[in-house]
Structure 1
């Protein structure tokens, strides 16, 4: 698939993904910003739980970070088609740095409250809403269509590593130095990432001027395209289910660690890192292989494995399993999470025309934006039934939903 939006390096089969023009700055900036996002998420969760002792409050703070994805994800896809994507990433990082600095200063002044964290999370969510249609798209396109899945796997593998490092740093720094230091570190890291992006050479074809009419037209065209494509529609539904019932399990780890295992802030960070550690291992395997075709099957199978791990973790925690066993269960779930995430991006890059790509990524971002609804649901379930029972309900629901999609996809293949 030829792409006219981004210049790429020559003969990537011989030079490799890492030597693709523009890949290193985009990859590094993503690693830095993602690790700080997870650091902030854990620091905010610990601060909120200590202040309120409420799983619902923790869920609300976490939900604010993803609410902009739901409300503005499709719009960001249109904007990323019309505005220079390098500028979108650059100014987004500057905005994230300013937000983190504000939280840190409020903490030093002793004025920090939960609503301040909600406001900062909303700002971070607006920036993150540009991730797939801007930076993530650029990552795939630097490598060209033939190596897009490998480039996305390398980027995803790094994100999984940062999901391990971020919570560990967040737990350690919060416990030793407090919330102010956590957010100051995040602000400095975002500035460094912005400096890397500022040096990126990116050529993007000129587009029509952004207007209200064009936004309506482009959103309508993107929805029609998705509706008429079985693969993209299945991708969108699976994305909604996985973010409603899958990744929302993260907000249960703080109350689960405190109430069921009496863990310290650092050990809650370790627990939060188990699933992304498994994803890192799987991402390394996928990144070293040339996996082409059957992306939807890999995506659905991976999500089902993640849901199975979540359900088993809930059952095991209810029977007071050891922490080592719980870490192993989430680690295995991370293997499925990697297959799901990598192929979520690969499906769009491989099957969607370049002119439509950012807009479809925007629709996928809306599906990811269902995560705040899932976090609120998880918090409510934990309040009524407890965190272990909430894990079981989320896992079984996800298995049923994405299992049905996998069944329909298999039946469609047999009919062809």
Structure 2
């Protein structure tokens, strides 16, 4: 009987198609994040601008997440996913052409990061809701563990591919690979047969958004998850934008070394996601979520203060383990706590909380230009731990 949950997931072809789409898009995201970060830093010597490239991928979540969540209840999610993948493929293709012709500027990379961020902010209310409809409520945790595991696997291979390809073929080679991978994702999307299981209730979009916000505020479990999500995305996640800078300036690594260093986080997260998929039970969901965030922030501080690549890589491994607990349980807890007819809306609210991350990227980039990337990262992680301590009474119900 212990193998039954995996068997039921394996027997859902649409889940694996959606899983494949998520894996490809996440891999491209990490390939481009590392490559673009290195290129921007080489051209500008500004840690602030490096942080801005990642921040622009997050900004659309805060701006549009709740609206896309409500919109996803009214439209065919499969068609929305097709449009999203086409948009991201076209963006990478245009950038490759600009780089080939010698016309690529920093602002082009910034604009493309924002456009791809618009696609990214549909992931929770569109693709992950589709996953829930395919596998069912009781298998959502397992499905999310496998989905987060794929995302974390992309963090293992993406940075290495980005660093090696950038060193060997330049940014143009990175962008061509991105375009081809998006085309593979598009093929997978076109074979998905799942459709929304629940029709949206009638009423204006703004009224339904207000209802979703009211539920998020009144439900203690959802509210707690949202508060912790905000803290994580302001004080923890932004450190990823500093990995290329710390790797080059403090640890004296080249592009390949920076890519390998960034991979350590993904390895730890992948292993953590597999452990959760195999052994996590419902009564431990909340503890895995909160404990993952605390572990993540603590090891971010250790990474920032490390003075050799081995210790820094070890810290990133543990950072990944903590991130797996947070990432797996984040959408799962919200999905399980939300009424079926409001899941896209509530996951849209969750996307907005993720989208608050640009505040953290702005802060970290600004501070890094003034006191150094490693000092700024260590300070920000410490502030995150303090924020968790001071908000305990609001998230303890998780």
Q: How far off is 1:409 after superposition?
A: 4.4
Equivalent position of 1:314 in the other structure: 304
Q: Which runs of 5 or more structure 2 residues have no equivalent in the other structure?
A: none
Q: How far off is 1:208 after superposition?
A: 5.2
Cα distance in 2 for partners of 1:396, 1:206 equals 43
Equivalent position of 1:97 in the other structure: 89
Question: Residue 133 of structure 2 contacts residue 197 of structure 2 at CA under 8 Å; is this kept in 1?
Answer: no
**CA shift digits 1:253-303 (9 cap, x unpaired):** 111111111111111111111112111001011112242134233211110
Normalising to structure 1: TM-score of the pair?
0.91
Cα distance in 2 for partners of 1:245, 1:348 equals 21
Q: How far off is 1:403 after superposition?
A: 3.1
Q: How far off is 1:192 after superposition?
A: 1.0
Question: Residue 32 of structure 1 contacts residue 189 of structure 1 at CA under 8 Å; is this kept in 2?
Answer: yes
Equivalent of residue 378 in structure 1, options 344, 359, 364? 364
Question: Residue 303 of structure 2 contacts residue 312 of structure 2 at CA under 8 Å; is this kept in 1?
Answer: yes
Question: Residue 302 of structure 1 contacts residue 335 of structure 1 at CA under 8 Å; is this kept in 2?
Answer: yes
Q: How far off is 1:162 after superposition?
A: 0.4
**CA shift digits 1:93-134 (9 cap, x unpaired):** 011000000000000001111100011111100000100001
Equivalent of residue 143 in structure 2, options 128, 134, 151? 151
Question: Residue 226 of structure 1 contacts residue 233 of structure 1 at CA under 8 Å; is this kept in 2?
Answer: yes
**CA shift digits 1:162-203 (9 cap, x unpaired):** 011111100000111000110111111111111111011113
2:184 maps to 1:192: yes
Equivalent position of 1:323 in the other structure: 309
Equivalent position of 1:172 in the other structure: 164
**CA shift digits 1:318-362 (9 cap, x unpaired):** xx2x21111001101111110011010110221111111111100
Query: Where do 1:149-298 residues align within 5 Å?
Result: 149-205=141-197, 207=199, 214-298=204-288
Change (3 A) 1:347 1:245: same
Q: How far off is 1:137 after superposition?
A: 1.7
Q: CA RMSD in A?
A: 1.8
Change (3 A) 1:80 1:378: same
Aligned residue-pair number: 396
**CA shift digits 1:38-78 (9 cap, x unpaired):** 11111111111111011011112221111111100111101
Change (3 A) 1:14 1:246: closer
Question: Residue 199 of structure 2 contacts residue 341 of structure 2 at CA under 8 Å; is this kept in 1?
Answer: no
Q: Which runs of 5 or more structure 1 residues have no equivalent in the other structure?
A: 1-10
Q: How far off is 1:408 after superposition?
A: 5.0
**Local SS of the residue matching 1:293:** helix
**Local SS of the residue matching 1:178:** helix
Cα distance in 1 for partners of 2:118, 2:16 equals 24
Q: How far off is 1:141 after superposition?
A: 2.9
Cα distance in 2 for partners of 1:154, 1:327 equals 24
Task: Return 134-143 or 108-117, whichever deviates more.
Answer: 134-143
